[in-house]
Amino acid sequence: MNSLDDRDRIDPRYDPVSGSVVATFFRYAVPSVLGMLAVTSAGIIDGIFIGNFVGAKALAAVNLAQPAWAAFAAIVFTLAVGGSVMCGRFLGQKDAAAASAVFTRTLLAAVGAGIVIAGAGLLFLEDLVRLLGATPEVQPLVTAYMRIVLIFAPVFVAGLTMDYFVRADGRPVLAATGLVAFSATNIALNTLFIVFLDWGIVGAAWASALAEFAIFAILLSHWFHPRCSLRLSLARGKWSDLGRAAWNGFSEFINELSVGLVVLFFNWVMITRQGVDGVAAYTIITYLMMIGLEVSYGISESLQPMISRNLGAGNPQRIRQFMLTAVAAVFSVGLLVSVLLLALPETMISLFLRPGEQAAAVIALAFISYFWPAFLLNGTNITLASYFTALHRPLPSAVIALSRSLVLPGFGLLLLPLWWGDAGVYLAIPLAELLTLILAVVLVLRFKPIDDVVGDKVFETEVRE
């Protein structure tokens, strides 16, 4: 076995296996949250630039393209989350060779899948735009935006995949730095392309595409650093191991793909009931929702290397402590976002619309008045799904993810408007999150960390053989 050497790869004060639980949690969570907020701020600022300098139709066009982004994110999260959790477990067992093999196969598979999907999307772009629900008045905008997004999508996939493994390798600050660089580059390029060069929605697409190179370049530096434990190597394991990793990351795939599908469903419903203004209003809600969601995703993703390393080291008590700390953190964030939305709804909506576009603003205000409870619940659901992923429990993780992000919202959109009209549309997500939370708590009580530690010993034996 090729083991890590005796040098401290991680500061012992923040070692997930032996350091203080609270200090270690914040050491991983804060950079991860800042990185996620950086990416979110880039998306929100995209919306501000587009809404104020291009118009509500362009804002709707960007949201109609969101399912395409979700498809690529689903690739990353399926492979990178499952692979990085497996990698973290091997690092917890001091087996760098096995960890490196998992990293290499995951990166090659993710980029390969990204190239195939991007190529297919470009080949059938006009059909894809129609499938996304674009009406004739916004089809040219959606097509122009998506063409650039698809061309550069493999770079996005490679950079985001590397982000997970850099974090698993004990450098959460560098991983966050890459995401912050992406955000800063995107904002600067939006200012140049949209405000000064007046490129419109095409400028927003180019800004996002070129910013992806920033995260890729920064994270690439990790593999030239002496603290790097991972190498490009296929010396250990086999390609079938990637299937095991992908299955473990399946809940993340469900999450991202379901986000795309639910956005698609919402767009169909809103454009049918309320026209382009309805889609623009829903786009504003998704931008506002990003704030709380990305903080929750940052916390939940930082939880994975902490739990996976303790799984490899056989520490069930620390696993439970990290999970409870994360849940308390995400609930606090959800409470804060809910208060802000209820206190300042008009101010937040006005950021995304030019003066005079009152139809979209009125719909967005009504949406917020029903939607806000979702922020109290979704962070806990996301964190508990991530907790099961880190424990290599893909089935309960997938059940939580599928419930909150597709099945229950889908049924809500189908049934609730029949009884409550537009209010039923707005309540579909909050009710889905509430029912999912009840299910998630039952699953947490059912599956104990000690069972997973015992199971990991069996897995380790299988790998060694």
Bigger pLDDT: 217 or 3? 217
What is the model's pTM? 0.64
Class of residue 52 by CB neighbours under 10 A (exposed 0-12, middle 13-18, buried 19+): middle
* CB 210 within 8 Å of CB 148: no
* CB 253 within 8 Å of CB 403: no
Residue 4 maps to a domain: no
Task: State yes or no: pLDDT of 438 exceeds 90.
Answer: yes
Of the pLDDT bands very low, low, confident and very high (cuts 50, 70, 90), residue 464 is: very low
- Total number of domains constituting the chain: 1
Residue 13 maps to a domain: no
Of the pLDDT bands very low, low, confident and very high (cuts 50, 70, 90), residue 192 is: very high
Residue 2 maps to a domain: no
Bigger pLDDT: 170 or 440? 440
Angle at 226 between CA 18 and CA 174, to 5 degrees: 70
**pLDDT value, residue 465:** 42
Average pLDDT over residues 389-400: 82
Residue 202 maps to a domain: yes
Task: State yes or no: pLDDT of 25 exceeds 80.
Answer: yes
Query: For 110, how many CA atoms within 13 A lie in the half-sphere containing its CB?
Result: 36
Name residues whose C-beta falls within 8 Å of residue 125's C-beta, 6 or more positions apart in sequence: 143, 146, 147, 150
Of the pLDDT bands very low, low, confident and very high (cuts 50, 70, 90), residue 249 is: low
Per-residue pLDDT tens over the stretch 38-75: 766 766 777 778 877 877 778 778 877 777 777 777 77
Candidates 205, 258, 215; CA nearest to 70 is 258
Average pLDDT over residues 248-261: 64
Angle, in degrees to the nearest 10, between helices 240-248 and 250-313: 100
3-state DSSP helix/strand/coil percent for the chain, to nearest 5? 85, 0, 15
Of the pLDDT bands very low, low, confident and very high (cuts 50, 70, 90), residue 462 is: very low
**pLDDT value, residue 255:** 62
* 3-state SS, residue 145: helix
Class of residue 359 by CB neighbours under 10 A (exposed 0-12, middle 13-18, buried 19+): middle
Average pLDDT over residues 397-414: 83
Angle at 178 between CA 173 and CA 181, to 5 degrees: 120
Task: State yes or no: pLDDT of 378 exceeds 80.
Answer: yes
Residue 452 maps to a domain: yes
Of the pLDDT bands very low, low, confident and very high (cuts 50, 70, 90), residue 10 is: low
> In which domain, by residue range, is 38 found?
20-464
Per-residue pLDDT tens over the stretch 289-314: 776 777 887 887 778 778 877 877 77
Angle at 94 between CA 93 and CA 97, to 5 degrees: 110
Residue 3 maps to a domain: no
Per-residue pLDDT tens over the stretch 91-129: 877 788 888 888 898 999 989 988 998 899 899 998 888
Residue 209 maps to a domain: yes
Average pLDDT of the chain to the nearest whole number: 79
Residue 10 maps to a domain: no
Task: State yes or no: pLDDT of 173 exceeds 70.
Answer: yes
